[in-house]
Chains A and B, each alone.
Chain A
Amino acid sequence: MTQRIVSQRTKGQASGGRILPRAGLANKALSLVLGVAVVVFLALAVLGWRPLMQSAVDWLDVGTTPVPCDFVMVLGGGPTTRPLVAAAMVRLGLARTVLVPHMRRPRAGEEVFLPPEDQITREVLLRRGVPADRVRIVGQECEHTEAEARALKECLDREPKATAAVVTDAFHTRRARWIFRRVMGADAERLRFVSAPTEGFSPTSWWRTEEGIRAVLYEYLKVVAYVFYYGRGVWWAAGALGLAAAIWAGCRWRRRGQGAVPAAS
């Protein structure tokens, strides 16, 4: 029995014979699907630019409605906005005590321009009606959100039934929540995240201002960096690469198999 073998090279090029109709159709279908996908993506990008951009900033904001709790923690980095939210919560009876993370102090040789941020925050709270005995400085030299999360964990460990609200900028709440959950584990259920109103740019048009672009893009970069640095980002990336390699190898294997099918006699 005569067996006629037609081998097919990749990319649909026939080698020593002709292109198999099945493979040619598959290639055409793939090109069509890819073309349609590109057109749909471009249409979405043009027509849905605004909702897309808005949802990008909405995704970062996981702040919830403030409810009565024992503590409200003011995260560092926004002394002109965040303490005002905490003060409002105390005034409205939504929180008993304000926790302010202790911030890094200048080292020898560093010029002191302004007082430490925790002192400024405390002063804002006092001036906005929070009694001095309701403001507590916690932690030691907190330089980043993770250190602040550890400081809050220490407080909540001492008071197992206490609940807390964490106040930060709206676009910072998702990363903050992720970090607090990572540090506090199951105790993170006792937390709520409250968004301070964003200043300097509007969430509905952030991509038109430098402040907005800087804040949102920088926050996304930080999210990625945190996932890689603290989370399992490296494993996810390795897994994705492995999967991509497996798919690629599978495609190659299939294509070779298709290229060596016996032709009908």
Chain B
Amino acid sequence: MNEDLDNVTNAPPTREPKGPVSPRRARWVLWLAAAGLVLAVAVVSHRAILRAAANLLIVEIEQGFSDAVWLADGDHRFQTAADLYQEDPRRVILIGRSFPDRLVELGILPPREEVARSRLEERGVPAGAIEFFGEKCRDIWETGRAFKGWMAAHPRSRILILCDRFRSRQTLLALEQVLDADEIARIGIRPLRGYRYDETNWWKVRSGVKGFVSAWLGLWCVWAFGEPPQRPEIWTVDEYEAEIARRIQGASR
């Protein structure tokens, strides 16, 4: 025992055995190689990765003939709706009435649904083919609830929703929170391509990056929080100006 101890204590300073590669170094080499591989894959296939990230935002549900088309949002929606109407004039074009913003209150712009109607009429959709639903809807949940009322009044209708491409999953998710499963089964979703970008090139234009980030944030908010329990207060023009005056005068006091 003592002899063994002596052998240990009197031995020359112990060093790592000089093999071909020490285990620690081998581990580091492995980590570096893995990181390099991930980086190389990311560089080589960044298009596929970015495209896949955008594809997660998009949902497309085409389910045969639809007898109504709801213009939710998105570029090309008027032309797409007009084309669908020309394809089969039995179709009804639906527009949700939104909350009139301050520009409407000031008389600068007509209500959005009126603008939509005039854009559709310019494209050959007669006023009789356009139906409005809801009243002063402030967000997708309120519009969805009004839409639910329309669906109840038209129990056999199948509806195609035209919406922004990157907002399509968010729209479906929000509608799933207000519609029943059998109502969801009656809707289709056509995500509309933007003027300037889509999932194949969004990272090349500034507005595409903004749209992508904003869409992910919106999707996350709808998923995480759902419908807000109470809507924020909306000031009229006079109330807003009173607030401005209060701040300016309060600050100068």
**Residues in chain A within 8 A of chain B (CB atoms):** 2-5, 7, 16, 65-66, 79-81, 84-85, 88-89, 92, 94, 107, 109-111, 113-115, 120, 123-124, 127-128, 143-144, 196-197, 199-202, 209-211, 213-214, 217-218, 221, 225, 260
Contact = CB atoms under 8 A, between A and B. Distances in A.
Interface of B: 8-10, 13-14, 75-79, 101-103, 106-109, 115, 119, 195, 206-207, 209, 213-214, 217-218, 221-222, 225, 228, 232, 234-235, 237, 240-241, 243-245, 247-248, 251-252
A92 B237 CA distance: 17
A201 B232 contact: yes
Nearest to A201: B232
A96 B5 CA distance: 93
Contact of A16 (B14, B101, B248, B252): B14
Contacts of B235: 199
B234 A218 contact: no
B206 A144 contact: yes
B248 A66 contact: yes
A128 B186 CA distance: 47
Given A16-B14, A88-B245, A111 B78 contact: yes
A32 to B, nearest CB: 28
A80 B241 contact: no
B193 to A, nearest CB: 12
B247 A197 contact: yes
Given A111-B119, A113-B119, A197-B247, A80 B75 contact: no
Contact of B244 (A85, A201, A210): A85
A87 B240 CA distance: 12
12 contacts: A2-B9, A5-B14, A65-B248, A80-B102, A81-B102, A84-B237, A84-B244, A124-B103, A197-B244, A209-B232, A210-B228, A221-B217
A79 B240 CA distance: 13
B216 to A, nearest CB: 10
Contact of B217 (A3, A81, A115, A214): A214
Contacts of B79: 111
Contacts of A84: 102, 237, 240-241, 244
Contact of B109 (A81, A120, A202, A213): A120
A225 B209 CA distance: 10
Contacts of A221: 213, 217
A27 to B, nearest CB: 19
A5 B12 CA distance: 8
A143 B214 CA distance: 17
A199 B101 CA distance: 12
Contacts of A201: 232
B234 A199 contact: yes
A7 B115 contact: no
A159 B225 CA distance: 50
Contacts of A214: 214, 217-218, 221
A85 B240 CA distance: 9
B124 to A, nearest CB: 14
Given A88-B248, A124-B103, 12 more contacts: A16-B14, A65-B251, A81-B240, A113-B119, A127-B106, A143-B206, A199-B232, A210-B225, A211-B232, A213-B225, A214-B214, A217-B217
Contact of B243 (A110, A143, A197, A209): A197
Contacts of B119: 111, 113
A181 B126 CA distance: 53
A224 to B, nearest CB: 11
Contact of B232 (A88, A123, A143, A200): A200
